[in-house]
Amino acid sequence: MSRYLLNKFLYTVDRDPDLVERYRDDPRGTVTWWEAERANQILNCHVPEASTWLRFDEIEREALATHDYVKLFELGAHPFLTLTLFIAMFERDDPEPLGFQKEYARRLAHFSLPYPDIAT
């Protein structure tokens, strides 16, 4: 398991409006594509560089592919990264102001201190 890779996925998708829409419309396909094409790219390099060893495990891949932000929180994905991406994808579907944020909080309400470790 790699909290780093989960957070990298959330971070890079959230910063690209086209990827946000792609992930919203085709989560499984986007996760598969991102893992093959982007997971090993080293961010913020002037010359494209890549590693070769990063990949999701099955639980991480399934949580991302099913938009399961509760499972992502349990796995240690950073809650700010998860919340901002999922707001970008789903806030528009809720007619109530802050409706998605309230649903997010409700679905995570069963967690208590200490919360899952988010250190990478």
In a domain? residue 117: no
Task: Please write the tens of the pLDDT for every residue from 28-59.
Answer: 999 999 999 888 776 666 666 556 667 899 99
> For residue 67, what are the domain limits?
3-107
pLDDT at 1: 60
Q: What is the chain's percent helix, strand, coil content, to nearest 5?
A: 60, 0, 40
Q: How many domains does the chain have?
A: 1
Assigned domain for 114 exists: no
Question: What is the pTM for the complete model shown?
Answer: 0.88
Q: Which two tokens stand for residue 86?
A: 């999922």
Neighbouring residues of 100: CB distance < 8 A, sequence distance ≥ 6: 86, 87, 90, 91, 93, 94
Which letter does DSSP use for residue 41 in this model? B
First to last CA, the chain: 11
For the segment 2-22, what is each residue's pLDDT rounded down to a tens digit? Answer: 898 999 999 999 999 999 999
Residue 116 lies in a domain: no
pLDDT, tens digit (0-9, with 9 covering 90-100), for 87-115: 999 999 999 989 999 999 999 999 988 88
Residue 118 lies in a domain: no
